Chain A
Amino acid sequence: MSFIPGQPVTAVVQRIEIRKLQHGEHLILGFSIGGGIDQDPGQNPFSEDKSDKGIYVTRVTPGGPAEVAGLMMGDKVMQVNGWDMTMVTHDQARKRLTKKDEDIVRLLVTRKSLEQAVRHSMM
């Protein structure tokens, strides 16, 4: 999932719709993210390309809304409700996921197994 600067990024994505869960007085999604253009990409354990500064799912709460919706650890988040997540800072990413007035988030995520599945199906 590497990219060439100046060229559009293409990926096979899966649409995941997560309904936020009311937890006390907060709405949670039940996963954790890591990464961002202001973070050190070399410490990302999930990325193939260690210069990838995208947002990755580092943990999924079992039984939480994200797991129910099909999000998996290691997924790279490409879009959240239409907002791009490939070139954002960590804080921007967090904010886009935790908007108070939205109770449903639609993510576009990509993972290696998706690309492989598409490739196999085309062969």
Chain B
Amino acid sequence: MPMNRYADMEDKLRILEDLNMMYIRQIALSLQDSDIQKKIDHEIRMRDGACKLLAACSQRDQALEASKSLLTCNIRIMAYMSELQRMKEAQVMQRVALRSSDAGPTDDRLPCKGKVAISDLRIPLMWKDTEYFKNKGELHRCAVFCLLQVGAEIHDTDMVIVDRTLTDICFDNTIVFEASPGFELRVELYSCCSEEDYSAGSTHRKLASKLSSSLGRSAGKKLRVAMDPGACSPISNGGGATLLLPLPSVGPKYHLLAHTTLSLSHVQDSFRTHDLSISGNEECSHWVPLYGNVCCRLAAQPHCMTQQMISGCLKVKQFGGDPQSWTNVYGVLKGTNLFCYHRQEDIEANVEPAFTISINKKTRIRASEKDLHSKAQSICISNHYGGEEVTHTLSADSREDTHRWMEAFWQQFYDMSQWKQCCDDLMKIELPSPRKPTLVTSKQGSLYHEMVIDTSDDISTVTDILARRMQELELRSQLGTSPPWMSLFEESPGCPRTHNRLPHSPLRCPRPGLLSSEASLTSDSYSPCSTSPCSRHSGWAEPLSSPSSHFRPRTLSLDAKLSTLRGRGYGGVLQCSCQPPSSSSLAPIPAQRIPQATLSCSSSTSSNSSSEGSHSPELSNGTSFSRPSSARRSLRNLRAKLDPRNWLQSQV
């Protein structure tokens, strides 16, 4: 049976995977490079986690994120593997070289490394007008992200969902690499179709064609392509990777959409546009119409510009001056300057250097062999300032020091010749700031801090305050007599209840209108808001038979509620007003009740949204007002529901 064979294949693939992991680990061990070994182990663990998450998650966003991390882990593992291979080769070559002893000490000067930062990636899109005007169906969305690779360092950007309302794909991340001037920064754009319907390509052929023919033209085309395994290069992330580290068959799959390679010549202190090579075509499910360019800011800070290359005591004399006028300075070579301080301590004290000699591409440095006044060699540095040539003569304490300084100067020149335009001026690199947590409950100084609600005894203070507020506002006067249909929503005798609770005050009249708005919002399922008020109330004015609070509930909502009361006035208090009158008839309400009561009335402090805000839909999602129209009310309901500061409760 084909299903069995498929399962067998899965097992075999898994075994292969495990073997591959072992192989990778062995190579890392044999090289005794613990650094890469640790990295590989870490990536393997991340990969396992991502596989599990992919298999377990049900939401599309989670699946996309998991698939993205899986792909990144795979590519990272491959990169580390190739790095390991290279190192192993180098090791072998070295051993061979030592044995042959032909290769003398090569005086290869290595340029200094530097920080390369790429930021503000922006990829313009080119949607066809048919997408906008004729395609009235649902938005075709794709999830995209970028992978940036320099050597074995691979970074990924955040994932962005792209649909036809976007004109550019923007990635806000700033990514910093450590690289040598011959670096090659490979930028790859991966995309994945974000629709729910297209499952993996194990659908029966006939069914597939039937489905695709019965759906619309564009949707059907995409479906057919998605189900046809051969279509858009299945080897999406490099041929080797899928053999060594197979991707799971379920879940969204990313495909390479475009790539480009940037190097030192593209480095500039401002934004530049580069060309993209696009793979894939319109027929692919993961297609996003790219304009063909990518804009970004690629900056580089070579270490010779940011770090002190050499420092030490020197004696400096200006050419043409008095042969005896040597100045003792503490020199620091950094960037394109040799800073000469009077004393070493001045550097920490941030005192300005005595003078500065510039060392740039136009500087000429030579060692003068014979110096009449000292036995040691001295170094002459010539610059052109303006039209004239200024020469400084440096002399170090000993021959070795002079040699060290000369070496440093040569290295500096070499670095500058390698890093080219990056050494003209220091380019700014902004380090990405740590992410702030998304939900931050702000505790403003407020009534909450003034009030202390410790035991249930103190609830009376709260209810007192609420009662007072209620009286301040002209509730009663505004609410007229209850309309006759209010009786429908009066507590019916059939409800199982222990106490006869809430007063049948006219305060309840606004509710019916809100039920309609609620119904309009939740039409697909049974909405608890349409429950009769009696069950609501039975929950609502719930006593006190429940155990008294052994916790202290957050009364942030109380705070919000009171501030809205202050700000606006009547609405919210309506529900709470039910509480105070009844409190006298009931045993002291445990602390937990009040927050729920107030929950019903609290809301975001925006002037528009009403107290309907944060409360339980049982309080008819949107209590109170008779005034606002149902459309506005449903808008407020939505706003309240979406307000992250709320903690909704629903009765079921």
- Interface on A for B, CB 8 Å cutoff? 5-8, 23-24, 26-29, 31-36, 38-46, 58-64, 73, 84, 87, 90-91, 93-95, 97-100
B650 touches A90 (CB 8 A): yes
Query: How many angstroms between the C-alpha atoms of A46 and B595 in the bound complex?
Result: 13
B557: Cβ under 8 A from any A Cβ: yes
Interface residue? B403 (CB, 8 A): no
B350 / chain A contacts, CB cutoff of 8 Å = none
Q: Which of A32, A38, A99 has a CB less than 8 Å from the CB of B526?
A: A99
Contacts of A90 in B (CB 8 A): 648, 650
B58 touches A62 (CB 8 A): no
**B629-652 interface (Cβ within 8 A of A):** 641-642, 644-652
Which 8 A-B pairs rank lowest in CB-CB distance, beginning with the nearest?
Answer: A43-B647, A6-B49, A45-B553, A34-B649, A97-B652, A94-B650, A95-B525, A32-B651
Instruction: Give the chain A neighbours of B648 by CB distance below 8 A.
Output: 34, 36, 39, 90
Contact present for A39 and B53 (CB under 8 Å): no
B496: interface (CB < 8 Å): yes
Task: Answer yes or no: B294 CB below 8 A from chain A CBs.
Answer: no
CB-based nearest A residue for B532: A24
Q: Are B652 and A26 in contact (CB under 8 A)?
A: no
- A22, B538: Cα distance in complex, Å: 15
Q: Which residues of the other chain, A, contact B551 by a CB distance below 8 angstroms?
A: 45-46
Instruction: Name the contact of A87 in the complex, choosing from B52, B58, B542, B651 (C-beta under 8 A).
Output: B58
Bound-state CA distance A36–B59 (Å) is 14
* Pairwise interchain contact A43-B554, C-beta atoms closer than 8 A: yes
Majority-rule SS of B interface residues: loop
Q: How far is the CA of A35 from the CA of B648 in the complex (A)?
A: 7
Tally of A-B Cβ pairs under 8 angstroms: 129
Once bound together, how far apart are the Cα atoms of A63 and B546, in whole Å?
Answer: 11
Does B563 belong to the interface (CB within 8 Å)?
no
Q: How far is the CA of A5 from the CA of B651 in the complex (A)?
A: 29
Q: List 15 A-B contacts (CB under 8 A).
A: A23-B531, A24-B494, A24-B535, A26-B526, A26-B531, A28-B531, A28-B535, A29-B652, A32-B650, A40-B644, A41-B439, A42-B439, A46-B551, A99-B525, A100-B526
Interface string of B429-443 (1 = CB under 8 A from A): 000000000010100
List the B residue with the shortest CB-CB distance to A46: B551
Q: A23-B531, A61-B542, A98-B525 are in contact. Are A39 and B646 (CB under 8 A)?
A: yes
**Is B618's CB under 8 angstroms from A8's CB?**
no
CA separation between A45 and B651, bound complex, in Å? 17
Indicate if B50 sits at the interface (CB-CB under 8 A): yes
| Contact status B526-A84, CB under 8 Å | no
Is B149 close to A, CB under 8 A?
A: no
Q: How many Å lie between the Cα of A73 and that of B549 in the bound state?
A: 11
Choice from B58, B547, B652 contacting A31 with Cβ under 8 Å: B652
User: A22 CA to B554 CA in the complex, in Å?
Assistant: 34
Question: Separation in Å of the B420 CB from the closest CB of chain A?
Answer: 44
- A40 with B645: CB separation less than 8 A: yes
In the complex, how many angstroms separate the beta carbon of A40 from the nearest chain B beta carbon?
Answer: 5
Assess the B530–A26 pair: CB atoms within 8 A: yes
CB neighbours (8 Å) of B543 from chain A are: 62
Of the candidates A33, A38, A99, which one forms a contact with B650 in the assembled complex, judged by CB atoms under 8 Å apart?
A33
CB-CB < 8 A to B595: which residues of A? 45
Contacts of B649 in A (CB 8 A): 32-34, 58-59
Contact B652 A45 (CB under 8 A): no
Which B residues are in CB contact (< 8 Å) with A60?
Answer: 546
Q: Any chain A CB within 8 A of the CB of B596?
A: yes
Contact pattern, B 501-542, Cβ under 8 Å of A = 1, otherwise 0 = 000000000000000000000101111101110110011001
